[in-house]
Structure 1
Amino acid sequence: MGEHGGATPTPDANPSNNYVIPGATVEFDAVEHPQELELESELNLGEGEKHEEDGDNSEVSEEGDTDGEEAEYRFQFQGEMDPLSFAEEEDASGLLPYERFERIEQHYEVLASKKRPALEACTSELPTKKLRQEEMLGASFEEIMEIMNYGMRKKSRKSKQRGRRKGSKKKANPEVTRKLGDATLHYAHGRFEEAIGLLNEVILLAPNLSDPYHTLALIYTAMNEEKRALNFYMIAAHLTPKDASLWKLLVTRSIEQGDKRQANYCLNKAIIADPEDIGLRFHRASLYIELGEYKKAADSYEQISRLRPDNVEVLSKATQLYRKCGQHERAVCMLEDNLRNHVNDANLSVVDLLASILMEINAYAKALDHIEHAQQVYSTGQEIPLCLTIKAGVCHVHLGHLEKAEAHFNALKPENASNHPDLVIDVADSLVNVGQYESALKYYVMLEEDANKYNGYLHLKIARCYASLTKRAQAIEYYYKAVEKLNDSVDARLTLSSLLLEEDRDDEAISMLSPPLASEAALDTESDMSKLWWRNGKIKLKLSQIYKAKGSFEAYADVLFPIIHETLFIETVQQKVKARKRLSRGVLSERVKVLDDHQTDNVFHGFRPVASSADLSKASRAKRLLQKKAAVREAKRAAALAAGIDWKSDDSDDESPQVFREPPLPDLLKEEGNHDMIVDLCKSLSSLRRYWDALEIINLSLKLECNTLSVQRKEELRTLGAQIAYNISDPAHGWDCVRYIVSRHPYSFSAWNCYYKGILRNNRIAKHNKFLHNMRVKHKDSVPPILISAHQFTMISQHQAAAREYLEAHKLMPDNPFINLCAGTALINLALGHRLQNKHQTLLQGLAFLYNNSRLCGDSQEALYNIARAYHHVGLVSLAATYYEKVLAIREKDYPIPVLPNENQDHVDDKKPGYCDLRREAAYNLHLIYKKSGALDLARQVLKDHVVL
């Protein structure tokens, strides 16, 4: 039986109704129905003695109830749990002591919130059904309540009395008192080890007594073990939560150790213990600001403002923080409440702040009403500040009342404008926002004499006004002045360059966007380089557009290629390296709770809830990861202590995402106009023979999964990549594009020519046999892959296999002159082999294909030369001489040599006239025949007529 008369359930009894926090008791009685739920107001103390807090005057009933309607959380140790484990810096789950206390409180609040609605539902139903229940059951309301409380601790029906009931306080354990006194004496005489041993024994006997923890904290402080001392102070403070001085000490110690979150936790506890100490609330608000939690800081200042309604400074801080968080409406409500509470003595600074916030959210009419109300109230008393008058004018400007606005602005005179520069700029900016540039210039010019104070920003505002009025000459003049001061202003340089281009001052625009001489070499670090204005993507993009418009394609590519390449590279890296979310220690600890290690000496010990196999697997992995992190942390701690360095645990969360560098052009692939720019850049690079650079851009563009390029643009890039592939030393980098083009156009001779030329440059023909085989299987009637296979057999002198392939192609395209030429050549070469039996028949078949080629070509010079060369090759010199003489009788004009797109044509342009005429070759071969037959004079004459220049 529990101490309160109710049965204390074990973890296995009813897992759904109780949750055991290791080392502490947060317990609810087991019930069978939701209507019977009731919170206990006190927690079991375990085997140790139950000691009451100092200054606690709550009434205690016979069953141990405290006076109050709602249960109050009280931390207590219970059972065989080891309280000393709380003093460790971190437990196995990686949580610090204050974080573990925080977790326990959170679990308590969750359980209490679940039971609270059931209690409210139970009590709300009783009065409406009381009469009916009495009629049906004949039972009174008190009897029903008694039945509902069955199995739970019973409420005392005796009237509660002030003060303590006699005998309610248990007597202190004599052994605990004796050991505590001995330990105190040891501490006083500096015998710390003996004191620590006795205090540990006291903690085992009375784990919920705060004195031993406090004494241990004092001892470890004297031993300069500040971290452990602070942990014992933390336990002592939780066991005496109303001791505000102890919480304040913890706040100071936490700040000294640099743990602001722990200091904030202790501050909250100190405020609960001493709500009248306004300094604690100020301290908490300041600490929230240091932690970057501006919303909580604003809430804290709002609470202080409610306690000190006349403190305008606090009110101002709260509203400013709400503005920073974007909660303008809440700031407005606070200020309006203050004005309502001070109708006759309102502070004008509150009105000024309220008007500023309302103007930020474009509530100009409402801001004007507050200002005019303030003018009416103080019209007979004090003078309205100038700032409120100007704000009223600004409101009129945005409401379209320009004449009324000008009447308010008359308070600003040129002679005193320098005394109120912020108000002058506010007036001018408001006029600019509504398009009144001429009027705005009038106010900007008032401050021009002191323009140096504004570091170029005033000149920039004046320049924008002139640009909006299409007065380009004046705008350029002031933009130059602004850029002189604002050297790193990218937008100012871009706008100035655009104005210069409109005035046909291209060289000045280029100079404005070009980097200064030797500036990049002057800086060493990459971080500094990334901040330079001339490395900005927008600057380089604008400069490249100017070069392209001027026709300077080399300069265009030099400027544009680096930023396009860097942008695509960063996008590709971010796509490949998907940052894995690293779970924090808190999340891992929650997963580990699924497991039950049955470790009674562990602080976080609990029962094992029902879980799926997947959850158990996650919990096991989380436990191993926590153990690994703990081992790494302990190794770092040992290394730091060995080096004589104060080690501090890193309490930061491990969920920080991986941060990538911002690309120069973040919207490169989002805007469709940039897609044409990528294609144009690749074409320009190709025309400049910068094939590697072009291929890099093409490959990076096509690799992006989130690519928004249209199908047409992708096709264009792949075609260009395929054409570039055969122009580089290693065409392997372009094979993806080449194969894609061939796969899309399997019957295109041009595509296959590009593919075959790349194969020949790579000199690794066998590597591509699998692709050729697959294409031939997939497209049986495609001639180009058949011809390529035949060419490969010819190159390795396998003329029989080559002839078979050429004849296969001839069946598909019998009237193709090239196929007939190749088939005839293969058969003649085959006839010259040693193992062929029907050589003459094969030779005649080969000659028949050559004659067919001549017929299809109209007995052209080339066809006749091929026949003559075939006869010469097989030794039929008489027939060869006849055909050589026919070639000499024909004069062939020059034809352009076919080249692939984007192929270098310089070698064609450098050829001398007559490069298509074969008479020189025919004459030379004919003179060899004459010379071998002994007709030297005839041979000499042929050379003299056709070869000698």
Structure 2
Amino acid sequence: MSANVFETDEGNSAVNDKNQVLVAGDDPIDSDDELDQLMEDFEMSESDDEDDGEQEEKLFLSSSEEEYDEDGIPIEDDYGDNYDFRDALRSAGNFRVKNKSKTITKSTKSYWKRKMMRSTNRELDPEVRQNLSLANEAFVRNDFQVAMNLYLEVIKKDPKNFSAYKTLGEIYKQEGRLNKCCNYWLLAANIHPWDSQFWSNVAELSTELGHIDQAIYCYSRAINSNTSKSSRYILERAILYREKKQYGRALEGFQRVRQLYPTDSNIVKNLASVYVEQKRINDAINLYMKILDYNINPSNTNQAGTPQQKQPKFGWAELNILLELYIQQHSWRNGIKVTKIVARWIQDRTDEKWWDDNDDDSEFDQKRRFEFIDKLSDPKTREVAIKKFYDLPIDIRFKIGTLRLGLGHKDEAMRHFEFLLDETDDISDLYFETGKILEENGYFEDALQFLIKAAQNEEFEGSTELIILLGKCFLETEDYVQAKQAYESLLSIDKDNLDYKISLAEAEYHLGNTEHARILLVEVAAKRGKEDRAKSDKGDAESEGEDHIMDGDHDDILNNSSLIRNEKLTARSKKLTDQERFEFENNAKKKVLEKYRSMKRLEESINSEADEKIAIKTWIQLAYQLLEIFIGVKSFFPRDKNRQFKGIILYRRKQDLGIDEKLARVYNLYAGIGNDGNENYSRQFLTSKVEYRGISYDEWFKIFTQYAILVLNYDHDYENANQMIEISMNVSVFIQDKVKESMLRLVKLIIGLKKNDMNIITTFIRYFLITNQFSPFIYKFFMCCFSSGMVSWEHFTNYNHQKFFLRQLKAFDSIITGKKIVGMATITSDVKDISFKNDHIDLLYVYANLLGGSRSYISSIVYLNRAYKEYNQDPMVCLMLGLAHVHRSMQRLSTNRHLQLLQGVSYLLEYKEATEKEATDYELQEVQYNFGRFFHMIGLTSLAVDFYEKVLEFNGKIDVAYDLSVEAAYNLALIYNINGNSLLARDLTEKYLTI
């Protein structure tokens, strides 16, 4: 049982009656010389039939009706009045086509009759008659080679000999060389153009051989030569036109046949299938609704009083087709409504109006139906209703379940789908379709029971689509053992599919097979580096293929072709309809959510096991695909970033669908979830302002930032992380949210810190300083962004920083004094309700350190004294003030070195005293080291040794990351070496400085 109700073989009875085994390949022309000779014979015979008029010279298809394409432009018939068979032969043999203009006269019955009589009564040359007789005898005794030679001799003498061409075709047919048979029969048919049945036979054989254009030509000649019995040929030709996707001509043919046979349901089905191909779903629905209306109200006239056309009978099969049309149009509610109307009409229950008050399908459910009928007040009505038939065919059950699922009525849909499980007939196709629909809607556990039932049938054994659906459902339901088996099976079919490898890696990871998962992820990652080469290799391969064709044997090509070649139609780009757009977006949304759910499962593992790199790498691969989809939408990247985001605008554009430069683009194009491809959208808003393809913009933002951080920390790929943040900083829906903008800049700053890129650090720390004016935390954060080293020192003490903080300091002073100060910064913080009485210690501290870093110790002391005045118990203020005095005392221009040094020592002692109050081991060690370093710097090494040794006493008591023992040991070793105690210096080196 097929789920596609439009698959039909009606109208092909003549083709289906054949039982021959078709063998492709063999041309009637054994050589170019023979083809040349035949062409000359055909042209020489032209003078023999001058009395026949121009009609015999020109082969044409007459048509009284003009056809139009989808844009309303008249279509010229390929085999119309201007078609010349000899020109077709010349073209097939690569000969020059002659240009000549002939006057065409229309055929009549008397013309064909005269033509047939003249051909029948034609006198044959004695030699021709003799050869023909000998050839017939050889054919009867199956001496085919002798017969063929004799028939060719006949043709040379008499190029219009129908019997010779026809019998040569029969010989090739018996030898299984059907292409040559077909070509000789085509030549014979042109000699007897009135023989419509023979034209039909040639058309059927051409169809079987795949020569569609030639078959269409033959059916056209059959129609032209026998207008009284041409309906079958018109139908066959219309079917071929549909196969060629020439829907306008196919539609015209089906409509002509339907006028002759209005009650034939197969013709209606073919007509509806063309409407569907043309995306005219409404026309197909109206076609069946008219049939339904005629059957329910069988009147000879319509409401306007005009006679109605007869219609086929409307039954369950027609309802099944109509419901499929409603499903394609997503008209869920209308489909259910029509189902109830038709079911009540067929089951003689049209008077049961009481069911309309219930928004369910209880009238088709035995238990609920009888419960409802028992509540009816009229006993007679109850008695009649109980006896009525109410059950539905299984196909209709499936369709109603699909419609209910479309409305979101999952419970009601499952009631219908459960009927499928009780069915005893083979309905494996419906099991598959049900599982597929449930999986699309996210009901994975329910989908599994139907997909497993379908897998038990031989029809679906080895079905790739079924295995893919099973693999997805097993992953979603966390049955990783079965998921692993499914994706291993898929990889055995397509070993290079990257989606399968990523899904298998996820299953292996959850099963604990981390090594295999790692190998799979390495293979996926390696694919990225090979894409450019694959693209160039593809181009080279195409060129080689063309060279091969050019160098090949021309006869091999001819042996597989027809005299009338199939025309390759160039598909014109079309604007997608609203329905096509909806289908594309719905499919893309499903694929995106599928990957997103896999990422969420992996996220749980990442959060619980921070060191699990396999889960992280799998998450990165999936995230990369989603980000490529998001980045492909131009509407997220407007030229004017300040313009409010209103939704995604997709433009009409074309794009090559070959292998792309990026791995994720390959994934998306293969899966059908790219943003461009063949979707020539007209410009309009298509999406919500809060989500894109089922994922909110907050979640998209999280994917961007988390991807960048994971790539930075685990792959150490600074460029990739930086590029992704740069892209996200241009996304309007992110940058218009100040919180998201700040987060992106923070991640950018983190990248700069990881890479130790001072340009990035300096640029983005300034943003936080401006947006968080006078924030103590931000000032501390500023100090932490510059690590030790000459490069960091140069950027920290940059004159621009000094100027910036001076302007901020003046702005704060203006708040305290209530006066504007020349050179102050603009106050952006809301300080109206805040009362400031004291100086800003953090601001003073930062600015003093900037001055001290550039060796402006006097200026640094001035600002540190302001801080010390109100915060003299702050250890860091005391430390920096003491060091500023010490460094000033060591400068050449110091007026009183000793007094300056003594002043510095006093502040350092205050620092020591303030720090040691309730100090931790970390703080105590730091104090000892700072004093050791101070005495070491001014040359009092004996005092420095005592402090350094006290630092070493903390070794092993505190965290290694914060232990200063290594620095102290190194400094001690330098002192001992300078003083000649190399043995003790060696001991310190071996104990503290050796790994």
User: Per the shorter chain, which TM-score range?
Assistant: 0.3 to 0.5
The TM-score with structure 2 as length reference comes to 0.42
Q: Which of structures 1 and 2 has the bigger CA Rg? A: 1
The TM-score with structure 1 as length reference comes to 0.43
